[in-house]
């Protein structure tokens, strides 16, 4: 599942793993610091990123590697630009929400009003919901809502082998349920679940699907 194919580029899931050393040996001569989504996920789980900026720099390194190896104007090169823009737009949006150590789990005090008070959503939950909705509502250039196929797990009767290949099945509805029940303490935990879901898709499906 290499993401270095210079023609016929497929979905962003191809960023999950680094190129095969056998098929693309020159990649490891050109790229000094190879990195992929799985490596980023592992670093998140191991708590190696000390700040949001370190995580953002890891994503930027991945996109820069892609642009350095592939030809300018190729589809994969353009996709790296697009994904980086999506990332930075979302970072800017999330950072607009007030956040400081003393108010991590509480929103600012609402303006007093007469009648039923407005429900106050903690700031960190606002960020989690924003990220979830971004993935759920994303449409590609053809208007396809890409999250639909990820909403539920494959039918066990129709795809019994899925549950032999995939050891940690997860889907959008489960993520939504965990979010609803305040099961995520921070953005990293939610991102990790999304990456697991994408990784499962890569493992089970053909690279060019």
Matching CATH topology for 1-96 and 106-209? yes
CATH number, span 1-96: 1.20.920.10
Q: Can you name the residues that pair with 139 across neighbouring β-strands? A: 145
What pLDDT score was predicted for residue 117? 45
Half-sphere exposure of 130 (CA within 13 A, CB side): 19
Domain regions of the chain by residue span: 1-96, 106-209
- Burial class from Cβ neighbours inside 10 Å (0-12, 13-18, 19+) for residue 64 reads middle
Q: What CA–CA distance (Å, rounded) separates 140 from 159?
A: 27
Q: What CA–CA distance (Å, rounded) separates 190 from 197?
A: 11
Residues contacting residue 129 through CB under 8 Å, at least 6 positions apart: 121, 179
What is the chain's pLDDT, residue by residue, as a tens digit (209 residues)?
Answer: 333 333 433 445 567 888 888 888 888 888 889 998 888 888 888 888 887 888 888 888 888 888 888 888 877 788 788 888 888 888 888 764 444 433 333 333 344 444 444 444 566 777 888 888 888 888 888 888 888 888 899 888 989 999 999 999 999 999 999 988 888 888 888 888 988 898 888 888 887 78
What pLDDT score was predicted for residue 14? 67
Q: Which of these CATH numbers, 1.10.287.1080, 2.60.210.10, 1.20.1050.10, 1.20.920.10, describes 106-209?
A: 1.20.920.10
* Positions of E strands within the chain: none
């Amino acid at each position: 599942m290499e993401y270095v194919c210079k023609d016929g580029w497929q979905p962003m899931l191809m960023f999950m793993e680094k190129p095969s050393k056998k098929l693309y040996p020159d990649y490891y001569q050109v790229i000094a610091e190879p990195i992929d989504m799985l490596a980023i996920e592992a670093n998140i789980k191991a708590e190696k990123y000390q700040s949001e900026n370190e995580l953002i720099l890891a994503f930027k390194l991945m996109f820069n590697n892609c642009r350095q190896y592939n030809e300018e104007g190729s589809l994969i090169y353009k996709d790296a630009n697009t994904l980086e823009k999506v990332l930075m737009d979302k970072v800017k949006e999330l950072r607009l929400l007030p956040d400081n150590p003393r108010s991590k789990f509480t929103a600012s005090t609402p303006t007093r009003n007469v009648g039923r008070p407005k429900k106050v959503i903690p700031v960190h939950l606002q960020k989690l919901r924003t990220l979830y909705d971004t993935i759920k509502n994303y449409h590609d250039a053809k208007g396809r809502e890409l999250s639909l196929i990820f909403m539920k797990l494959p039918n066990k009767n129709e795809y019994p082998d899925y549950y032999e290949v995939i050891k940690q099945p997860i889907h959008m509805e489960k993520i939504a349920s965990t979010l609803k029940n305040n099961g995520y303490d921070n953005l990293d935990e939610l991102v990790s679940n999304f990456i697991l879901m994408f990784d499962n898709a890569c493992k089970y499906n053909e690279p060019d699907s």
